[in-house]
Chain A
Amino acid sequence: MSSKKSLDDRLSKRLPVWLAVAAALALLPGLRAPSYRAAVPLADFGRLPALGGGRIKPLDTVARTSLLELSGRQTLAGKDGSRAALEWLAEVSFDAPSADKENVFQIDDPDVLGVLDLRQGRRRLYSFNELKGDLALIQKQADEANQVRGSSRSRYQSAIISLQDKLELYQELENTLQLAGAGNIAFGYQYLEGKLLPALAEHFKHRHTDRTAMSELGQYVEQFQFLAKVAAFFPLPVRVSGQGLHWMSVGEASIDRLRTDSFHPGLIAYASMGDAWRSGDAAAFGKAVEDYRTWLAFHAPGPASWVSDEFVFNSFDPFFKASLLYLAAFLLVFASWLVYPKTLSRCAFALLAVAFVVHTAGLGTRIWLQGRPPVTNLYSSAVFVGWAAVLLGLFLERLTRRGLGTMVAAAIGAMTLVVALHLDNQGDTMEMMRAVLDSNFWLATHVTCITIGYSSTFLAGFLGVLYIAQERLAPQRLAESAATLERMVYGVVCFSTFFSFVGTILGGIWADQSWGRFWGWDPKENGALMIVLWNAAILHMLWGKMIGRRGLMVAVVFGNIVTALSWFGVNMLGIGLHSYGFMDKAFNWLVVFVAAQLLIMAAGLWPDEPDGVRP
């Protein structure tokens, strides 16, 4: 026993540090560009900038968010393993006939499948070729469904509208970088430059009209007008004096040639990339991308560099890596209760610290890329709730050093990041803010305070879960930690009362500033109010000695339910029973979460054995 203890002592000095260093080193390769299976070098293609959804982002992000919207996943599953979203985007852009065979359209709704005469089977993804024959039918059904106002649509109606939106997005993507299915694009531009445009000049200058050339030119212009109309994103920057960069679609830039002296270099580059992709010419593809990136570095240096950083952010995927590390830290604390308590709990703390650094780096990158405070939508709120809870947990661990803070922080960190990873299929997680939300001041104050309130209420709640679990499963462990846990929970409840209250009030002030109503009993406001009320109730029950230590723990577990409902439940209200897709699944998980908390509360309230000692 003594030798084991001394081994634990000896190991606890070095091992945690080595573990942290090893974890950090293991993360480093993630910063390199990922490898793709395509025949051509794609990484730099993914670093090209485009304006989409109101912001400038790398094509890699365009690819990921588009594929997510269509198929609910970020990779393309095929018979021979999965391929990256970027490869799929290149195929959609440059080789539409092949892309039409890929299974990317997610259709879950049995009624929609019925309308399309498809049998519901294991498969949830369908290809464009399978749906091509029914485009008019889907359009008609969706138009009819669109007559119904959003909140009163049936599940089928929402689903058919969603399918129509997906089909539109897909066909727009096919016609953004070039006309779907066209070949020899670069040659087309040469032909325009060498033959048709001189013919046009001739027409204006000398009244000499080459009728064939004019009609060919007319066809090209028609094509370009079509491309300009349907473009899903705008990949070509032009400097407009006094206004900064103006982003054009391929069609618009091609038509623009009629006013200017030469084609936009991006046009030629994308045309060559397309031709090289179709012929599998890796060298030509690489050269086209490289030349264009050189041009961009000179003519649009800002976007060219920050979209490149976003590309690294995407492929590093910090929140996924952090969630794995949190999970490892959680398991290590658990293991430390069985063997080598000192070493393993320190190792857990070390991993938690590394995970927190990765988490912070990810959060910081998002803030920097977006130029916004951390929380701008549901996805980022999940990331931030976890971050703030881990920060508080680390602080508690430094104060108490019993592994309790580490365990709870790791659990919340992992869970919130998993929630975030499931929330990101709503599309671009760095979407632009609608007008009323476009206020960095209020986002930074009100939203951040409210979210810290969520974090700390969850932290208290999970400490309560830990207490009840120990009491029921390992009562001898609880004897040492009960008083510490109680002090921690009390402190965190005070903290969250303060932040929830301040956040709620700031929200009222924002509401008063933007639509003249300090308090409008809006569902989201009410949700925040419930958290304040419940925390205040806990404090008054404690001060009035209406509850003891165990009552406090049960009460804070109930706080988990209140917080989860006001965080997610409120978002489900509007779409309620008619919701489709993600929110349905989220609703089921919410029910599971609430049920689990109720069970834990019941376990906490269950009477002790007659001879049992109530701590």
Chain B
Amino acid sequence: MIRPDAELLLQITDLHARVEDQPILKGVNLEIRAGEIHAVMGRNGSGKSTLSKVLAGHPSYRVTSGSVRYRGEDLLALPPEERARMGVFLGFQYPIEIPGVSNLEFLRVATNARRGQKGQEELDTFAFEDLVNERLKVVQMDPAFLERSVNEGFSGGEKKRNEILQMALLEPLVAILDETDSGLDIDALRIVAGGVNQLATADNATLLITHYQRLLEVITPDYVHVMAAGRILRTGGKELALELEERGYDWVDEELAALELSENARTPLEVA
């Protein structure tokens, strides 16, 4: 839902980032307002997963220049846990298994951390169980998964449902979903996407990172961005995703080559 007067939740400006000594993001610009659903598409290695991890504050990634403002605040100055408490959520492409830590307790501690930030009271075990049982419905998840260790022995689909369950409990304002569709069969994809649709409101925003168009058949984006070589090459509406599906990513290479040529041509001038 595009409303030009909606709150500007996330503002990414000329973001550059590295992992180890490898530059990955090379000038990403993106603005996300409340109510919007954005999709970032691109080939493997285009930097789309890096973008999601940088936004969530993964310690292996280093921002070298540029800025990210979240509701006007400098997001990059905050540790990962504070970003999460303030409402930035990352749905992992490969959710981590944590043996010995009960899923239920993990969900409760996380939910209470977010509630504390919002000035809401902490939920005790009983109140939390009521809440979690209600939110399980969003992803049609079996309550038995609450008793197990976090993601341990979960199938790919169960892990992704557990991610969306966390999103349902944390009620983020910006949800970044990194390849949430990967490894899902069509039924699981429908359930997970259905969960995302149920959670999308006029007050929050979703950033879908995806490789394929099929996720966008079930979640309709307001904007589609094509990422290549660490920046957003083109932005359009949902029809851009269809175009990509039809034409593949080859045209991206051509566009990129043309862009680099013109940049190289410009460089001597700038130096002069």
The finding on whether chains A and B are genuine partners in a shared complex, rather than unrelated, reads no
